[in-house]
């Protein structure tokens, strides 16, 4: 009976540990060598850990649809300039994302420009190049 109790506890620990470990995933599906700008209306925004969750209603030449995105942890976003309340439901914002490698819609938010024009996050490669050229006087 004692061995059965220990076995049950061991299985419970492994089960819980596995589900917690699988909750956080790799970012291998994103192409961090590219940056794509997506503009849309915020349908959902959650600044939670382990990742920010964002759903944008996008209307463009492909039609109107919702695109689900994720981003850094709240802590990383805060260090990159994000402050609570900067993104609200119904705001029109532009996000800069590392797109999904398989070409499907979605991506990893690396930066954003809010409805008020405030920007936070990492500079895209194109923005880094513009900054370099500006610094060089070109």
Q: What is the pLDDT of residue 97?
A: 93
d(CA 21, CA 69): 21
Beta-strand pair 63-71/107-113 = parallel
d(CA 51, CA 53): 6
Class (C level, CATH) for 36-135: mainly beta
Q: What is the pLDDT of residue 72?
A: 86
Phi and psi angles of residue 36, each rounded to the nearest 5 degrees, phi first: -120, 135
Per-residue pLDDT of the chain (138 residues; tens, 9 = 90+): 555 545 445 444 544 444 344 455 677 889 988 889 999 999 999 988 888 999 999 999 999 999 999 998 888 888 888 898 999 999 999 999 999 999 999 999 999 999 899 999 887 666 777 788 889 987
d(CA 51, CA 132): 30
């Amino acid at each position: 009976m004692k061995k059965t109790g220990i076995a049950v506890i061991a299985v419970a620990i492994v089960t819980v540990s596995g589900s917690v470990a699988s909750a956080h995933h790799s970012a291998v599906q994103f192409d961090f060598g590219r940056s794509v700008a997506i503009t849309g209306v915020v349908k959902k925004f959650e600044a939670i850990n382990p990742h920010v969750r964002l759903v944008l209603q996008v209307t463009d030449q492909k039609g109107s649809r919702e695109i689900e995105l994720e981003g850094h942890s709240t802590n990383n976003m805060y260090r990159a300039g994000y402050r609570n309340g900067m993104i609200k439901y119904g705001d029109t914002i532009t996000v800069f994302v590392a797109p999904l490698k398989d070409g499907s819609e979605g991506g990893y938010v690396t930066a954003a420009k809010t409805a008020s024009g405030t920007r936070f996050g990492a500079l895209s490669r194109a923005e880094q190049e513009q900054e370099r050229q500006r610094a060089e006087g070109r």
